Structure 1
Amino acid sequence: MKIATAQIMRKIDSYCIDILGIPGIILMENAALKVMKNIPENNKKFVIVCSSGNNGGDGFVVARHLLNRGNYVEVFSLGSDENMSADALVNLNIIRNMGAKIIEVNNDEELEILRESIIQCEVTIDAIFGTGLSREVKGIYSLAITIMNENSKYILSIDVPSGFECNSGKVMGNCIRSNKTVTFELYKKGFISYDAQAFTGEIVIEKIGIPKAVVDKFHEDEYVMDIDFIKGLIKKRNKYSHKGDYGRTLILAGSPGFTGSAYISTQAAVRSGAGLVTLGCDSSIQNILSGKLVEAMTVPTNDEIGLDSLIAKSDSIAIGPGLGNNKCTLNLLKKVLLNSKCPVVIDSDGLNVLEGNLEILKNKKCQIVLTPHMGEMARISGFSIDEINKNKIDIAKDFAKKHNVVLLLKGFNTIITDGKTVQINPTGSSAMASGGMGDCLTGIIASFISQGYDMMTAACIGAYVHGYSGDKLSKKMFCVNANHIIEALPSIIKEIQDLE
């Protein structure tokens, strides 16, 4: 799914109307028909709250179609006809001529009528503000939104919930809390914000007749991944392949007291299909991990010559889980970045030691994937967590471009970017909120790189499969831990690959 800002949608609409000659009223009609598709026929009583913009116009068209369907409809109009867009006014006049019940809302008495009507109806349709909202919602508009939120049995919003800033997901003073949002053509950028779902409810994207070439002309390579996209990325295995064809993965992880991180990341690499996996760890914990890892080899990182040889032979390297935030980890990371010719995935303490040491990324001889969570991203980027949350895509994209890395910013709606293209991962849930999940993801990404996938593709597959596994398991489990994911990985990957 392609992502758009309000500015992109404005350019697309303008191009369709001004250059292609598609009348705006046709787009409005198409939008309303797609809203109708999302209204169950068993609902009979509706309140539609509109204003003077094109979002209100969509609402007037929906009112006409509901009336034609034989439903009871009351339309409440906020604002005056004098300020109404031309297309919206045409559709308002049509429903006036049809004898629709239309109440203009300008005072407390009319707000009370709105409240009583909403209490009596089954569905409230929000058609007040669309994607162009850029200032705080105040006065009668804010009061109407509060009444809708407090008294509606079910709210459907057209394009975006009124009061929702399209680009950031910020609440502009007051905002509709929808059960469903029917948006048009593209997924809005604000929908990926941390608490957006509390306002959007279920999001449905509908096409309204805008040519694909126009969307492609203005779209900025930002997407939300779906299962069909991931299925298309996962390669079929040749029946004549052997372990050498699926690469050598080196995991540098673990320290006394943190053997679990090393085990999880290594086992995740094994279970997601790497040909040969080797764990490099301190000699003091090697025996512990050798006893736990059946399919992976272990080597001591204290053996400089042996480690150098492994670094040279590997097809991917993951470094960081459970190593400790210390000088030894920093020195090990420097060694890897200066000597590795294969892609390197940096996570956990590998990221922590980059704080104040980002210059070592400039001297690298290899490609790099960074997989920070919000706290780690704040430490290495200099932005606060709050600043990152408010502007995740742009901060992630700028960081990846500046340091020439693939950045996977973990969290709700994980962001994956190489500085040019952005992919958002929608999978995963709070059922996965437990220690070791990041270590598991690191191993999966390193494994797919070893199997011959480029870094961006490996990061996308890894993030999606990891979260999808958690989603699937959480249907029958209260909480899902990293070992559950590891056990499920081969079956889940095969399931996605074989989808019809």
Structure 2
Amino acid sequence: MKIATSEIINKIDSYCINELKIPGIVLMENAALKVIKNIELDKYESFCIVCTKGNNGGDGFAIARHLHILSKKVQVFLVGGKDNMKPDCKVNYDILKSIGVKINKVDNLEDVNELRECVERNEVTIDAIFGTGLSRNVEGIYESVISIINENSKYIISVDVPSGFDSNTGKVLGNCIKADKTVSFEMYKKGFLNYGTDKVTGKIVIEKIGIPQNVVSKFHNNEFIMDSSMIKSNLVKRNKYCHKGDYGKVTIFAGSKGFTGAAYICTEGAVRSGSGLVTLCCNSEIQPILSSKLVEAMTVLIEEENRVEELICKSDVIAIGPGMGNNEDTLNILKKIINKAENPVVIDADAINVLEGHLDVLKHRKCEIVLTPHFGEMSRITGLSIDYVKENRLEVAQKFAKENKVIVLLKGYNTIITDGNSIMINPTGNSSMASGGMGDCLTGMVASFIGQGYGTMNSACIAAFIHGYCGETLSKEMFCVNATHILNNIPFVIKKLQK
């Protein structure tokens, strides 16, 4: 699914109307019909529809007409008067009046009281006040109307975006409708991706309203939400003549005293995702522990310099960081790998932390790099506060990836994967997975898919989707899902997606 800003939506609308000669009233009618489609008409009989003089209000008037024709009880309110009403909005306003539907005006406090009584009486409130173009704080009568709707409605449906919601940033502009469902059009709005927006959007439904896909592609900025069909189309079925040498030599640098679990989980993540040969490099203090646990993977001592150098040069992919410790030794190992490796390197956890103040390590290299930070790690290497990173995740990840010529997989709800040009959002996963080791597992999976030949960006996308999909599937029957549960289910989920 494609993601869009309000500016992109405006350009698409303008192109359709001015260049393709699709009347705006046609798009408005299609939008209204798609909202009707998403109302449980067998469940609800009475509706309060709140509109303004803009095109979002025009959608609301058209929705009211269709509900009236369906013999539903409809009460309509126009907030702020009809002076300078948009032409398409006025068409639907006039039609509604012509068929005998009363349109109540909301211009003062007395009108606001009447609206309150209407909202209380009816089963559903439809918010058609402000659309995607809103960029300033809601004030005056509009702020009062939004508060009344929020405080007195039984069920709220917002048209395109909740009124008072910045569709680019996800921020509340002073006051905002708290919808139970938002029916939005053509593309997923960028603001929907921000943390906490579900409190105002409710369930989000994206509907097509008749805009040609070549027009969408013309203005779209290479920002997407992944889905299962994308992953299915990328997963390759195995040739019966292939052997372990065809599925990647993966080397993982991980673990330290007290952190053997991180090394184990990361290594098993690669094994369980289908790697041909996996080798863990760790220090002599923990090697006996991990060697006894890792049945299908090999272990090599970091102290064996010749063997380690050989692995760096001959591996199809290297992963480094989980459980290594934020120290000089980790930094030195990372430097050695980046200087010598010609195949991709996945950098996670402490190998990201040691980059704080040492980003020059990423320059003058021959290998592709994937970084898999969480918010704290992203904050350290960028110098930005965690709160700023959270609020501006797409921009921060994309800028860092572009400036440093790396792929960034910024973990969290709606994980972001970007190479600085295109952005992919992973929608899978949930809070049942909030436990230690999840990131280590994901790192092993990313490395595994790279080793199998899927490419760096593609591998990061596939791994993130499958990782979250495993957690979602398991959480249907489990209160909490741990990394071990994910490891056990990876092969089954991959097989299911292939089918």
* TM-score interval, smaller chain: over 0.9
- Alpha carbons 2:415, 2:426 under 8 Å: kept: yes
User: Do the aligned residues in 1 keep the contact of 2:370 with 2:456 (CA within 8 Å)?
Assistant: yes
Paired residues of 1:73 and 1:101 also in contact (CA < 8 A): no
CA deviation vs aligned residue, 1:368-391 (integer Å, no higher than 9, x gap): 000000010011012212222222
Q: Does the alignment pair 1:8 with 2:16?
A: no
What is the aligned partner in structure 2 of residue 172 from structure 1?
173
Matches within 5 A, 1:111-150: 111-150=112-151
Give aligned pairs, total: 498
Question: Once the 2 structures are TM-superposed, how far is the Cα of residue 101 of structure 1 from its aligned partner?
Answer: 2.5
Mapped pair 1:395 → 2:396: yes
Counterpart mapping for 1:124-273 below 5 A = 124-273=125-274
- Between the aligned partners of 2:234 and 2:382, the Cα distance in structure 1 is 30
Deviation at 1:352, TM superposition (A): 0.3
How far off its partner does 1:117 sit? 1.1
Distance 1:28 1:411 in 2: 36
Residue 27 of structure 1 corresponds to 27
| Separation of aligned partners in 2, 1:142 and 1:41 | 29
In 2: Cα distance, 1:98 partner to 1:406 partner: 57
C-alpha separation in 1, matches of 2:232 and 2:196: 29
Q: Equivalents in 2 of 1:126, 1:440: separation in Å?
A: 43
RMSD: 0.8
Give the drift of 1:116. Answer: 1.3
Deviations 1:266-313 (A, max 9, x none): 011100100011110011100000111111011100111110011111
Cα distance in 2 between the residues matched to 1:81 and 1:153: 28
Deviates more, 1:105-114 or 1:409-418: 105-114
Q: 1:156–1:180: 8 Å Cα contact kept in structure 2?
A: yes
CA apart distance, 1:365: 1.8
- The percent of aligned pairs where both chains have the same amino acid is 61
For residues 269-288 of structure 1, what are the structure 2 equivalents within 5 Å? 269-288=270-289
> Secondary structure of the residue that 2:489 maps to in structure 1?
helix
Contact 1:46 1:125 (C-alpha < 8 Å) held by counterparts: yes
Residue deviations 1:415-466, cap 9 Å, x none?
0001111000111111111111000000000000000110000000010000
Q: Secondary structure at the match of 1:448?
A: helix
What are the Cα deviations for residues 45-94 of structure 1, in whole angstroms up to 9, with x where unaligned?
Answer: 00101111100000000000000001000001101111311111111111
- Show the counterpart of 1:371: 372
Which residue of structure 2 aligns with residue 37 of structure 1? Answer: 37
Letter in 1 for 2:26: I
Q: Which residue of 1 aligns with 2:486?
A: 485
Partners of 1:312 and 1:81 in 2: CA distance: 72
State the TM-score, normalizing by the size of structure 2: 0.99
Residue 19 (structure 1) shift: 1.0
Contact 2:279 2:300 (8 Å CA) reproduced? yes
1:330-409 alignment to 2 at 5 Å? 330-409=331-410
Q: Which amino acid aligns with 1:28?
A: M
Per-residue Cα deviation, 1:448-497 (whole angstroms, up to 9, x for no partner): 00001100000000100001111111111111110010001000111111
- What is the one-letter code of the residue matched to 1:425? N
8 Å CA contact retained: 2:81, 2:107: no
Runs of 4+ in structure 1 off by over 6 angstroms are none
**Cα distance in 2 between the residues matched to 1:375 and 1:101:** 55
Contact 2:54 2:86 in 1 (8 A): yes
Paired residue type of 2:373: P
Distance 1:116 1:497 in 2: 54
Structure 2 CA distance, aligned partners of 1:199 and 1:317? 42
Which amino acid is 2:233 matched to? G
Amino acid at match of 2:360: E
Structure 2 contact 127–156 (Cα < 8 Å) conserved: yes
Gaps of 5+ in 2: none
Matching residue's letter, 2:79: L
Partners of 2:25 and 2:210 lie apart in 1 by: 12
For the Cα contact (< 8 Å) 2:80–2:141, is it kept in 1?
A: no
Q: Give deviations 1:140-182, integer Å, cap 9, x for gaps.
A: 1111111111111111110001011010000000111111111
Q: Which TM-score applies when normalising by structure 1?
A: 0.99
Specify every segment of 5 or more residues in structure 1 that has no aligned partner in the other structure, as ranges: none
CA distance in 2, matches of 1:431, 1:390: 23
